[in-house]
Amino acid sequence: MKKIAGNPYLKNDKNTVIIDDLPLESLLEKYETPLMIFLENRIRDNITNFIDVFESTFNKFECFYSFKANYLPEICKIVYSEGIGAEIIGLPEFELALKLGIHPNKIIAGGPYLPKELIERSIENNIKELIVYNLNDLKKINDIAKKHNLVQDICIRVNSQKYNSKLGITLNEENLSKLTNKIMGCPNIKIRTILSHYTTQMNNSDQFKKNIKTIAENLIILSKNGIYIDNINLGGGFPEATVMPQKQLKKIALDMKMTIEKYDIDYKKIYFEPGRYFVGDAGLFIAKIIKVGSGRWVFLNIGNHICPKFARCSLRFYNLSQINISHKHKLSFFGIMPTDQDVLAKDYFFTKNLNEGDKVLVTNVGAYTLTFSNRFPYPLPKILLVKNDNYRQIFDPLVHHDISIY
Ligand X SMILES: Cc1ncc(COP(=O)(O)O)c(C=O)c1O
User: DSSP assignment of 160-199, as one string?
Assistant: ---TT---SB---HHHHHHHHHHHHH-TTEEEEEEE----
Would you call the peptide bond into 34 cis, given omega within 30 degrees of 0 as the criterion? yes
- We find the least distance from the C-beta atom of residue 199 to ligand X, in angstroms, to be 8
For position 366 contacting ligand X by CB under 6 A, the verdict is no
From residue 376, give the alpha-carbon distance in Å to each of 197, 303, 336.
Answer: 31, 10, 10
* SS3 call for 344: strand
Q: Name the closest residue to ligand X (Cβ).
A: 236
- We find the least distance from the C-beta atom of residue 334 to ligand X, in angstroms, to be 27
Listed ranges 235-243, 344-352, 375-383, 385-393: which one lies at the site for ligand X (CB under 6 A) = 235-243
Among 34, 90, 235, 308, binds ligand X (CB under 6 A): 235
For position 236 contacting ligand X by CB under 6 A, the verdict is yes
Shorter beta-carbon distance to ligand X: residue 110 or 303: 110
Listed ranges 119-127, 230-238, 251-259, 284-292: which one lies at the site for ligand X (CB under 6 A) = 230-238
Shorter beta-carbon distance to ligand X: residue 34 or 274: 274
Identity at 93, one-letter amino acid code: E
Backbone phi and psi for residue 131, each to the nearest 5 degrees, phi listed first:
-100, 125
Query: By CB under 6 A, what part of segment 282-341 binds ligand X?
Result: none
Q: Are strands 35-39 and 283-292 parallel, antiparallel or unpaired?
A: antiparallel
Among 90, 275, 308, 335, binds ligand X (CB under 6 A): 275
Listed ranges 42-50, 180-188, 231-239, 283-291: which one lies at the site for ligand X (CB under 6 A) = 231-239
- We find the least distance from the C-beta atom of residue 87 to ligand X, in angstroms, to be 6
Give the count of alpha carbons within 13 A of 171, CB side only.
23
The CA radius of gyration of the chain, in Å to the nearest whole number, is: 23
DSSP 8-class letter at 284: E
- CA angle centred on 63, ends 62 and 67, rounded to 5°: 150
Listed ranges 158-166, 268-276, 303-311, 374-382: which one lies at the site for ligand X (CB under 6 A) = 268-276
- We find the least distance from the C-beta atom of residue 67 to ligand X, in angstroms, to be 9
From residue 259, give the alpha-carbon distance in Å to each of 102, 216, 217, 263.
Answer: 33, 10, 13, 6
Ramachandran category for residue 368: left, alpha or beta (phi over 0 → left; psi -120 to 50 → alpha): left
Q: Which residues pair with 131 in a beta bridge?
A: 110, 155
Q: CA-CA distance, 313 to 281, in Å (whole number)?
A: 9
Among 42, 182, 197, 305, binds ligand X (CB under 6 A): 197
- We find the least distance from the C-beta atom of residue 289 to ligand X, in angstroms, to be 30
Among 45, 273, 281, 342, binds ligand X (CB under 6 A): 273
- We find the least distance from the C-beta atom of residue 313 to ligand X, in angstroms, to be 11
Applying CB under 6 A, the site for ligand X has a residue count of 15
For position 50 contacting ligand X by CB under 6 A, the verdict is no
Query: By CB under 6 A, what part of segment 93-152 binds ligand X?
Result: none
Among 200, 304, 322, 373, binds ligand X (CB under 6 A): 200
Q: CA-CA distance, 110 to 90, in Å (whole number)?
A: 7
User: DSSP assignment of 118-160, as one string?
Assistant: HHHHHHHTT-SEEEESSTTHHHHHHHHHHHTT--EEEEEEB--
DSSP 8-class letter at 390: E
**Could you tell me if 342 and 43 are in contact, meaning their C-beta atoms sit under 8 angstroms apart?**
no
Q: CA-CA distance, 388 to 30, in Å (whole number)?
A: 18
Among 34, 90, 110, 274, binds ligand X (CB under 6 A): 274
Shorter beta-carbon distance to ligand X: residue 15 or 48: 48
- We find the least distance from the C-beta atom of residue 301 to ligand X, in angstroms, to be 27
Neighbour order of strands in the sheet with 16-19: 2-4, 7-13, 16-19, 22-23
Q: How many residues does the chain have?
A: 406
Among 106, 276, 316, 382, binds ligand X (CB under 6 A): 276
Shorter beta-carbon distance to ligand X: residue 233 or 301: 233
Listed ranges 102-110, 177-185, 209-217, 232-240: which one lies at the site for ligand X (CB under 6 A) = 232-240
Shorter beta-carbon distance to ligand X: residue 152 or 200: 200
Q: Which residues bind ligand X (CB under 6 A)?
A: 66, 69, 87, 197, 200, 235-238, 273-277, 367
